[in-house]
Structure 1
């Protein structure tokens, strides 16, 4: 049975070979990201997810912050390989920084004390759903992307550079751009190891 949503999910793949050409205007990409985040679910409709969309020099600046942070923890003899990897992310047209607003989480914990322990978990789930929504939307627009997790290394520097609220917690980074290489075959584990069905 054909299902447009499943077909869309199948288009979402990790792309490390990124270029700066985009099939959409910057304004259209921004609107796409905003709509994808806006319409992603969150517990209690908390809308805790935040996104910072960086283009061009601003995106390069973020990856420079990452490199600066990594220089402090990666041995000098290994840094060339690390730098090459970071440069591949910087080669794209932009980067989306995914945040979760901890003030929203704390407010829900205060209002619904019975579920206080769950709200941080649900916030992480909301972030994951926002990331998947954006990634799938980009893929369906012909834009390549990957999901990275260099937090918390660049968090303080990024917050200072873009004057972000202290309550915003960085959860992931998504470099995006043109697809400069084909996708390889994706393998899947056996369904019997992954699913249980009872009727």
Structure 2
């Protein structure tokens, strides 16, 4: 079994995905549920909502993203992103990350603090699930297509799966077997990233 640090090192953004896995869909679903249940949130507010897509639901979602983004992105950006969308559709599934705006309003915070807590809550779930998928030898990446609650960009996704209007989509995490490893990753000196003071 990997140590925590080894698991953190193993987690990479994987864009070329397949469906070869030793884990059944139900096992993946159960792991995601277990992780989300334990993820910390500000004031134990539990504002994050997670939707997991498999099979036809996954394909339909990414077809929807493809149809919209091909009208938005152009040139090299479309060339790059269309490949990511295709890779996502070829995987086992996708985790959609939402924040329930109604639940967010119940937190004892307003303005910039409310936004920070909301983003932190969701980020905790994103990273925890990413590590859980990595532990299951599944590759994943974090995407941000069709996000924009105020502009209604995520309206089509909510309609597709009959989700509450109060759900705000923040990210998507397509996952599957690793069909192409990630390249070398550059790091900066930890002395720059991490400061330590004793007095």
- TM-score (normalised: structure 2): 0.89
- The Cα shift of 1:196 comes to 1.4
Corresponding residue SS for 2:106: helix
- The Cα shift of 1:35 comes to 1.2
CA-atom RMSD, angstroms? 2.0
- The Cα shift of 1:155 comes to 1.0
Farther-moved stretch of structure 1 (68-77 vs 142-151):
68-77
1:149-193 deviations in Å (ceiling 9; x for gaps):
113275111100100001110010000000112333322101222
How many residues matched?
Answer: 192
- The CA distance in 2 between the partners of 1:37 and 1:15, in whole Å, is 22
Farther-moved stretch of structure 1 (158-167 vs 11-20):
11-20
- The Cα shift of 1:99 comes to 0.5
**Are 1:6 and 2:5 matched, yes or no?**
yes
**Are 1:142 and 2:155 matched, yes or no?**
no
- The Cα shift of 1:76 comes to 7.9
User: Which residue does 2:163 correspond to in 1?
Assistant: 164
- The Cα shift of 1:20 comes to 1.2
Structure 2: runs of 5 or more not aligned? none
Corresponding residue SS for 1:13: coil
User: Which residue does 1:180 correspond to in 2?
Assistant: 179
- The CA distance in 2 between the partners of 1:185 and 1:78, in whole Å, is 22
- The CA distance in 2 between the partners of 1:126 and 1:81, in whole Å, is 29
- TM-score (normalised: structure 1): 0.89
- The CA distance in 1 between the partners of 2:92 and 2:173, in whole Å, is 11
